[in-house]
Amino acid sequence: MTTTISTASAATMFVLLEGPSDVAAVAALMERDGLASPNVELVNLQGATNVGRVLGEIRQIRSDADVVGLDDAADTRAAEKALADDGLPVLDASDLPVYGFFVCEPDLEGELIRALGVERAKAAIEGAGLGSKFDALRTQAAWADEPLADQLRRFARAASGRKENAAAVLAAALGADEVPEPLAMLLDRIRYA
């Protein structure tokens, strides 16, 4: 996981991910599927708006590298602009998958929770020893009356450290045939790197 690209990197594919939770989820799925490879580098962008800068760094070091990524639906504009600036004819978010950038609706955590279902997602969180922290969130006045799916998504998106752990736990709980489409398409690209 990097935030800047090293000139010593042996990677031929760079996977641009918005943050550490995305890296944790993709790494968990890659490990489960036996896709770990020195040819693939997971890059923590530290925010979707950094995609253009990081893509520029990659092109300076390895102009022929395959660059793919994952975006939350609200953050696609930065990827659209970065790819257009890289010379690709991107008009809007519907063009992103053609170039290896896949969009999570509304975000990675939402995709993982929807794929698992709320009861299995809750069980995965509890099984990881995070049950008491999740229960604490559920008793807060702002969240007590919200649907379980919204509570889970909020829990999985909050607090650095826990966010990465929750994403990895939820991703690891998925069966091979349950991986949400954006992640499945990204893994397919990685598989053939």
pLDDT score, position 121? 97
CA distance 142 to 123: 22
Which of 29-38, 95-104, 156-165 is predicted least confidently?
A: 156-165
Residue 29 has pLDDT above 60, yes or no: yes
Q: How many CB atoms lie within 10 A of CB 44?
A: 20
Decide if pLDDT at 1 tops 60: no
pLDDT tens-digit map of 129-186: 999 999 999 999 999 999 999 999 999 988 777 889 999 999 999 999 999 999 999 9
Residue type, 124: A
Q: What is the mean pLDDT of residues 75-87?
A: 96
Take residue 166 and report the two structure tokens written for it: 């929750």
Query: How far is C-alpha 117 from the geometric centre of its chain's CA atoms?
Result: 18
Q: In the chain, what percentage of residues exceed pLDDT 90?
A: 88
Cβ partners under 8 Å of residue 65, min gap 6: 11, 12, 13, 14, 58, 59
For residue 6, the model assigns a pLDDT of: 72
For the entire predicted model, the pTM comes to 0.93
Q: How confident is the model at residue 3 (pLDDT cuts 50, 70, 90)?
A: low
Cβ atoms 157, 163 nearer than 8 A: yes
Using pLDDT thresholds of 50, 70 and 90, give the confidence band for residue 4.
low
